[in-house]
Amino acid sequence: MATKLLSCYPWTTSPFIVAAPMRVMSGPALALAVSGAGGLGFIGPGIQTQNTHVDLEETLTLIRKQQIQPSSLNSHTSSSLLPVGVGFQLWGDDIEIATAAIQKFKPCAAWIREASPQTQIWIQIGTLKEAKQLLLISEKPDVIVVQGAESGGHGRSEDGMGIMSLFPEVADAMETSQIPLLAAGGIADGRGVSAALCLGASGVAMGSRFLASKEARISKGYQDEIVRATDGASTTKRTLLYNHLRGTFGWPAGYSPRTIINKSFVEHQGGTPFEKLKERHDEASKLGDAGWGPEGRLATYAGASVGLIHGVPAAETIVQGIRKDALQRIKSLGSVGL
Amino acid sequence: MATKLLSCYPWTTSPFIVAAPMRVMSGPALALAVSGAGGLGFIGPGIQTQNTHVDLEETLTLIRKQQIQPSSLNSHTSSSLLPVGVGFQLWGDDIEIATAAIQKFKPCAAWIREASPQTQIWIQIGTLKEAKQLLLISEKPDVIVVQGAESGGHGRSEDGMGIMSLFPEVADAMETSQIPLLAAGGIADGRGVSAALCLGASGVAMGSRFLASKEARISKGYQDEIVRATDGASTTKRTLLYNHLRGTFGWPAGYSPRTIINKSFVEHQGGTPFEKLKERHDEASKLGDAGWGPEGRLATYAGASVGLIHGVPAAETIVQGIRKDALQRIKSLGSVGL
């Protein structure tokens, strides 16, 4: 299955490493850098729901022009498919406009249905129930991303579970489907990638690790927090508070993002009314980078793997370093164990 | 580090597989079967806090007599160390009596301090903070078990985290200590074991997997539930409810067990008063095996890995099968990846 996946995206190298589509932060520079390093980069949903299409058109045009495309990808774009994927929120984005953009630009992968026939359809799930529902639909996705509770991006609030148990149980349920499964959530280095492969994953998707990359479209204050934070278990929480402080409502019930907590969360726990928190949040948003940090108030979405992230290298360095470490670990264990 | 560990327990084989000390359920038969298969079996704390020592004395005497000891262990018991470990709850057990038993019987490992000098001291932790505290004490443990939020046994309630993120972060913090780390929580097959080794673990401790073994001291109704339950993310919860229904109080704040939920939990969520639930629970406890199951009311402690457990083999079959699968996975990944 892992081999099948690599052949669908012929510029990729084993183990298959994906940069997840993160809203705003995953722009064309990050997506192309990851694909250029033998991974698969995704472009995240746009800056605001109402103008996703503008952002997406501009972004895909930029990539089509190949002004910033690494030369290593040139040989693979003759098929007219873009060597990056595009992420959508099915509940929030304008599907007609998104579909039009997909048809026009033909990215290699998208989290959406009814697009260009060559574009592969990826679906992310976070529970066994969601996985089983995919077995019942007639038009199967090409790739399923299994997201553990460790993840930063929006995931299951109450019935999420660590990827160590979740992934193998989903894999058993999906076995007959022959759909490649990727593991996501809590993975940020070669240890996590090699562990995911052992669990049966055909590859991994990482978010937080790429937030701390040179190419991420992210404020320095936010990025500094990703690097600074340790002890992901106690310094990150799943909460809708920061969505609401930013005016984001509408995620379906049962989903929430993981966030590095700061004063907004602490005061919320202490009983400060939302209106007061909102005022202080909006004030903090005028401070620039000082709005983040333990004394800050701004949303700092990140996964539980933040304690494994210690610097801001180029995305290419991240992909190549993690791939090398994962392969070395497996090789080294194999030589001891046998 | 893994090699160091294997040499401390010379009958063990790589990968190092431990049957965790489960209260009541881990008796001498299970512990010896696991050690006899090249793993390390632990005896759990006794039936009730007040008579732990009676149970422990009887149990260790039984093992000392070697009436039930597999012949493969005979060559390793000349050192007078028992080839099994003993688990204690430091908050609940009588430390003086426990220490006396440890000094008399010399198990190879114990979750306790100040015992026989040859007995290795194991400590289980569930957070980075707990790990860092161990770095500050003068008398370091010999082995640290890092327990992820997927675990069944009592673990961290609020600040627990999936082992995929927790383990590597703890490992980085403990690196200079040179203490072998085991991974626990959510692991029940060769996929989990090989994944844990990739994360850097020197071995794994499993609980739930051994509850569904022929040698576990467990009611059939309880064991049937472990085998029946699927979707560990939604059918198991961390809750103190069942402890309280059983009259168990006193666990330090911040710890709770994971349990397969049944009518007690559902009605608790629905607002039924505790006294009513307790009455119904006590009635159900007279029903024998029918007290467990989705319509039952009795405590069914288990980890999130229940969906990976499909039968009740001998503990030896479990240990050998999981070891073989883990090694094959790593070998097979190594041959593809390189």
Q: What is the pLDDT of residues A173-205, one digit of tens each?
A: 999 999 999 999 999 999 999 999 999 999 999
What is the Cα B268 distance to its own chain's centre?
27
Of B52, B307, B59, B56, the residue nearest A166 (C-alpha): B307
Overall residue count recorded for chain A in this entry: 338
Helix axes B315-337, B28-36, angle to 10 degrees: 40
What is the C-alpha separation between A232 and A187, in angstroms, rounded? Answer: 12
Contact A128 B192 (CB under 8 A): no
Q: Test A192 with B199 for CB contact under 8 angstroms.
A: yes
Contacts of B138 (CB under 8 A, 6+ apart): none
pLDDT at A2 over 50: yes
From A92's Cα to the closest Cα of chain B, the distance in A is 27
Q: What is the 3-state secondary structure (H, E, C) of A174-226?
A: HHHHCCCEEEECCCCCHHHHHHHHHHCCCEEEECHHHHCCCCCCCCHHHHHHH
A330 CB neighbours in chain B (<8 A) are 198, 330, 333-334, 337
In this complex, do B185 and A162 lie within 8 Å of one another by their Cβ atoms?
Answer: yes
Q: What's at A41, amino acid-wise?
A: G
Question: In this structure, is the dihedral angle defined by the CA atoms of residues A198, B145, B258 and B292, taken in order, positive or negative?
Answer: positive
Q: What share of chain B is helix, strand, coil (3-state, %, to 5)?
A: 45, 15, 40
Test mutation, A198, A261, A323, chain B, max B CBs within 10 A:
A198
Across the interface, which of B149, B168, B308 has its CB nearest the CB of A162?
Answer: B149
Q: Which of B3, B159, B338 sits opposite A233 (nearest CB)?
A: B159
Backbone φ, ψ for residue B156 (5° rounding): -65, 135
* pLDDT tens readout for residues B221-280: 999 999 999 999 999 999 999 999 999 888 888 889 999 999 999 999 999 999 999 999
Q: How far is B275 from chain A (nearest CA, A)?
A: 27
Inspect the interface and report whether the beta carbons of B231 and A14 lie closer than 8 Å: no
For an interface test with A, which of B325, B333, B338 has the most A Cβ atoms less than 10 Å from its Cβ? Answer: B333
> In the CATH hierarchy, which top-level class contains the domain A2-217+311-337?
alpha beta
pLDDT in the model for residue A42: 92
Test B331 with A338 for CB contact under 8 angstroms: yes
Check residue A66 and report its DSSP letter. Answer: T
Query: Which residues, given as ranges, of chain B have pLDDT below 50?
Result: 47-51, 67-68, 78, 113-114, 338
- Asked if A336's CB is within 8 angstroms of B3's CB, the reply is yes
CATH number of B2-217+310-337: 3.20.20.70
Question: Does A50 score more than 70 pLDDT?
Answer: no
Cross-chain Cβ contact B129/A234 below 8 Å: yes
CB contact under 8 A, A161 and B232: yes
Confidence of residue A102 (pLDDT cuts 50, 70, 90): confident
pLDDT in the model for residue B211: 96
Higher pLDDT, A98 or A164: A164
**A197: chain B residues, CB-CB within 8 Å:** 198, 333
Return d(Cα B45, Cα B26) in angstroms, integer. Answer: 8
Chain A positions touching B308 (Cβ under 8 A) are 165, 168-169, 172
Give residue A90's pLDDT.
Answer: 63
Least Cα separation, residue A81 to chain B (angstroms): 27
Q: Verify whether the Cβ–Cβ distance B187 to A164 is below 8 Å.
A: yes
Domain residue ranges of chain A, discontinuous segments joined by +: 2-217+311-337, 220-306
**Which amino acid is residue B225, in one-letter code?**
E
Is the CB of A199 less than 8 angstroms away from the CB of B191? Answer: yes
In this complex, the residue of A172, A303, A334 whose CB is nearest that of residue B330 is A334
* pLDDT tops 70 at residue A113: no
The answer to whether the CB of B69 falls within 8 A of the CB of B60 is no
Minimal CA separation from A192 to chain B, in Å: 6
Select the more confidently predicted residue: A318 or B92. A318
Quote the CA–CA distance of A241 and B318 in Å, as a whole number.
45
pLDDT confidence of residue A17? 96
Q: Quote the minimal CA–CA distance from A244 to chain B in Å.
A: 23
Backbone conformation region of residue A231, classed left if phi is above 0, alpha if psi is from -120 to 50, else beta = left
Residue-level pLDDT at B338: 43
Write down the mean pLDDT value for chain A.
Answer: 88
**pLDDT at res. B47:** 45
Interface test with A, best of B226, B330, B331, B335 (most A CBs within 10 A): B330
Amino acid at the residue A293? G
pLDDT, greater one: A322 or B4: A322
What ipTM was reported for this prediction?
0.91
List of chain B residues whose C-beta atoms are within 8 Å of the C-beta of residue A195: 164, 195-196, 198-199
CB contact under 8 A, A185 and B164: yes
Mean pLDDT across A239-243: 95
Q: Between chains, do B307 and A169 touch, taking CB under 8 Å as contact?
A: yes
**Mean pLDDT confidence for A260-287:** 98
Distance from CA of B195 to the nearest CA of A (A): 4
Of A163, A188, A333, the CB nearest to B197: A333
pLDDT value of position B196: 98
Identify the closest residue of chain A to B338 by CA–CA distance: A327
Confirm if A82 and A63 have CB atoms less than 8 A apart.
Answer: yes
8 Å CB contact of B233 and A161: yes
- Checking if the pLDDT of A55 tops 80, the result is no
Q: Band of the pLDDT at A298, cuts 50, 70, 90? A: very high
Cβ neighbors of A78 (< 8 A, separation 6 or more) are none
Which chain B residues are closer than 8 Å to A196 by Cβ? 195
Highest-scoring range by mean pLDDT, A52-66, A298-312, B6-20 = A298-312
* Interface size between A and B, measured as CB pairs under 8 A: 191
Name the residue with tokens 């590095």. A260
Count how many Cα atoms sit within 13 Å of the Cα of residue A67 in the half-sphere of its side chain. 7
| pLDDT class of A48 with cuts at 50, 70, 90 | very low
Residues of A in contact with B195 (CB under 8 A): 164, 195-196, 198-199
Note the pLDDT tens digit of each residue in A138-159.
888 999 999 999 999 888 888 8
> Which chain A residues have a beta carbon less than 8 Å from that of B172?
307-308
pLDDT digits (tens, 9 = 90+) for B192-219: 999 999 999 999 999 999 999 999 999 9
Residue found under tokens 């529902």: A133
Q: Which residues of A touch B165 (CB under 8 A)?
A: 150, 186, 188, 192, 232-233, 303-305, 307-308
Both tokens of residue B250? 């006193």
Nearest to A162 among B3, B164, B331 (CB): B164
